[in-house]
Copies of this chain bind each other. A is one copy, B any other.
Amino acid sequence: MRAIHMVSPRLSSCLRPIFFGRFSSSPRDFVFPLSNPRRFYCAAAAAENVDSGGGGGRSGSVTAPPMMEDFQKIDVNPPKGTRDFSPEDMRLRNWLFQHFKEVSRLFGFEEVDFPVLESEALFIRKAGEEIRDQLYCFEDRGNRRVALRPELTPSLARLVIQKGKSVSLPLKWFAVGQCWRYERMTRGRRREHYQWNMDIIGVSEVAAEAELISSIVTFFKRIGITASDVGFKVSSRKVLQEMLRSYGVPENLFGKVCIVIDKIEKIPVEEIKKELRLTGISEEAIEQLLEVLSIKSLEKLEDVLGGAGEAIADLKQLFSLAEKFGYSEWIQFDASVVRGLAYYTGIVFEGFDRGGKLRAICGGGRYDRLLSTFGGDDIPACGFGFGDAVIVELIKEKGLLPELKQEVENIVCALDKDLQGAAATVATILRDKGHTVDLVLEIKPLKWVFKRAARVNAARLVLVGKTEWEEGSVSVKILSSGEQYKVKLHDLD
């Protein structure tokens, strides 16, 4: 395997020195280990940093000897918090995404996508969201502030404003895209995940939210998850809005209050109260707010808020539609659900694991005012995000992980070197007929070929041997039964 010694750094020092006059060849310049023993890089790489742009590149100008130019021991792991997808991982990802996509299409949604890199301004909201604190942002080589998207909705809103009157409402769009975050303190949490989004733009009726939840229920059912595994907690931000209004709290504090409330199950209630006090809300309002947030029945909420407001009307409508869609047993009212994004304005919901072990599986709601925060005209809208992490934990726990194997119909193999071309012809014939073929590209012992056939789960082994080939035939072995026969090339199918 080392037949070609072209740029080997270890050999090159024997070469004529005439070319190296202007370079130092001190071994000190070669490789310097960093604190992490798996992470090395060479002086050449460090020196290059100078002109590589980006914000705050640190200076340094060690000139490396050219014989080291292409040698650097790299970290074989993907960057911290990111994933490689080996074939096994990719089969699971494809299986999951396929379900996301098929369900979306079943509901008449069209797929869209946006750049993974967006202008930072698109994600900056001052409500104190976790998503904002963890923005994976940086300055590009042209000194623009950009960010790897933490979520898809702002990009969707941007595209809707851009399209303006050229599109007919409602839009029903879905996307499956990678989202990023940056936490300084990572406790094994990932910095990227994929998120399935479905959004309905241009429908003010609660039927839109009901349709979105129906699509998630359809997805759960398809992969074997039942109403006894997961549920949806549903509320409306209008509950909070109506309460704050009754206490004279300014409307502009609404987003901030929601973000505080969203932490209610994560931090002690005294902390919540302290943060609410900081927004300027009165002690009485805080106490009342916290009491209302503990309500788990729509009837009790109606007793407190009265029956006239939009919150109650919307929620009643949603529960009525849930029955007609056939997913009543999946949903329940829970006033404590507000979701962690500042832009929601109405119904909010989150999918939760009834076992109580996992974080929220998905979440969404109505965001009728997002477009105007970007300078566009508002259009009623709602949507959800569904990550690829918690659902995989859940299906593992429930024993629902599918068995996904590589599947190749045929393995084609020449029995001697002169027949490699013949095997190529056989592979082409089969592929032209739409059959998948793993062509053995080197001459290998039959034992090896059988082992590979088993590993790729091939159904048939097609052997190209001298005698058969001379009469225009090949040997076919059905691997499940062991049955073996000769077949003419033109009958091969």
Complex interface: stretch among A289-297, A329-337, A375-383, A390-398: A375-383
Complex interface: stretch among A9-17, A300-308, A354-362: A9-17
Shortest Cβ gap from A83 to chain B (Å): 7
Question: Which residues of A (7-40) have their CB < 8 Å from a CB of B?
Answer: 7-9, 11-12, 15-16, 18-19, 40
Q: If the complex has contacts A7-B369, A79-B146, A368-B4, are A431 and B324 also in contact, measured as CB distance less than 8 A?
A: no
Chain B residue contacts of A73, Cβ below 8 A? 374-375
**CA separation between A434 and B106, bound complex, in Å?**
7
**B380–A70 CB distance below 8 A:** no
Does A468 count as interface, using CB distance less than 8 angstroms?
no
| Top 3 closest pairs, chain A to chain B, by CB | A55-B56, A108-B438, A56-B56
Does A144 count as interface, using CB distance less than 8 angstroms?
yes
Chain B residue contacts of A451, Cβ below 8 A? 168
**B113–A436 CB distance below 8 A:** no
Selected A-B contacts with CB under 8 Å, 17 pairs:
A4-B238, A16-B248, A69-B127, A74-B119, A76-B161, A78-B114, A78-B118, A79-B119, A108-B411, A108-B436, A117-B180, A117-B192, A137-B141, A140-B182, A168-B452, A203-B441, A325-B424
| B interface footprint on A215-243 (CB within 8 Å = 1, 0 otherwise) | 00010000000000000000000100100
Does A131 count as interface, using CB distance less than 8 angstroms?
no
Does A3 count as interface, using CB distance less than 8 angstroms?
yes
CB-CB nearest in chain B for A170: B441
Q: A84-B114, A105-B436, A107-B436 are in contact. List 13 more A-B contacts (CB 8 A).
A: A4-B345, A4-B368, A9-B252, A16-B248, A41-B121, A44-B126, A55-B56, A72-B374, A84-B115, A107-B437, A108-B408, A108-B456, A203-B442
Shortest Cβ gap from A147 to chain B (Å): 8
**A373–B108 CB distance below 8 A:** no
Does A476 count as interface, using CB distance less than 8 angstroms?
no
Q: If the complex has contacts A105-B436, A162-B76, A211-B441, are A251 and B120 also in contact, measured as CB distance less than 8 A?
A: no
**CA separation between A280 and B142, bound complex, in Å?**
35
Does A349 count as interface, using CB distance less than 8 angstroms?
no
Shortest Cβ gap from A17 to chain B (Å): 9
**A77–B250 CB distance below 8 A:** no
Question: Which residues of A (54-106) have their CB < 8 Å from a CB of B?
Answer: 54-58, 64, 66-67, 69-80, 82-87, 90-91, 93-94, 105-106
Does A112 count as interface, using CB distance less than 8 angstroms?
yes
Chain B residue contacts of A84, Cβ below 8 A? 112-115, 155, 159, 162
**CA separation between A251 and B12, bound complex, in Å?**
7
| B interface footprint on A186-214 (CB within 8 Å = 1, 0 otherwise) | 00000010000000100111011011001
Complex interface: stretch among A45-53, A265-273, A481-489: A45-53
**A345–B82 CB distance below 8 A:** no
| B interface footprint on A138-150 (CB within 8 Å = 1, 0 otherwise) | 1111101110100
**A55–B139 CB distance below 8 A:** yes
Shortest Cβ gap from A199 to chain B (Å): 12
Does A439 count as interface, using CB distance less than 8 angstroms?
yes
Chain B residue contacts of A2, Cβ below 8 A? 378
**A250–B141 CB distance below 8 A:** no
Shortest Cβ gap from A183 to chain B (Å): 9
**A373–B12 CB distance below 8 A:** no
**CA separation between A142 and B252, bound complex, in Å?**
34
Specify which of B145, B163, B373, B379 is in contact with A7 (CB 8 Å cutoff): B373
**A74–B1 CB distance below 8 A:** no
**CA separation between A119 and B384, bound complex, in Å?**
32
**A325–B11 CB distance below 8 A:** no
Specify which of B8, B115, B138, B214 is in contact with A138 (CB 8 Å cutoff): B138
Chain B residue contacts of A110, Cβ below 8 A? 87, 90, 406
Does A277 count as interface, using CB distance less than 8 angstroms?
no
**B148–A117 CB distance below 8 A:** yes
**A184–B69 CB distance below 8 A:** no
**CA separation between A480 and B203, bound complex, in Å?**
28
Does A459 count as interface, using CB distance less than 8 angstroms?
no
**CA separation between A343 and B71, bound complex, in Å?**
12
CB-CB nearest in chain B for A114: B84
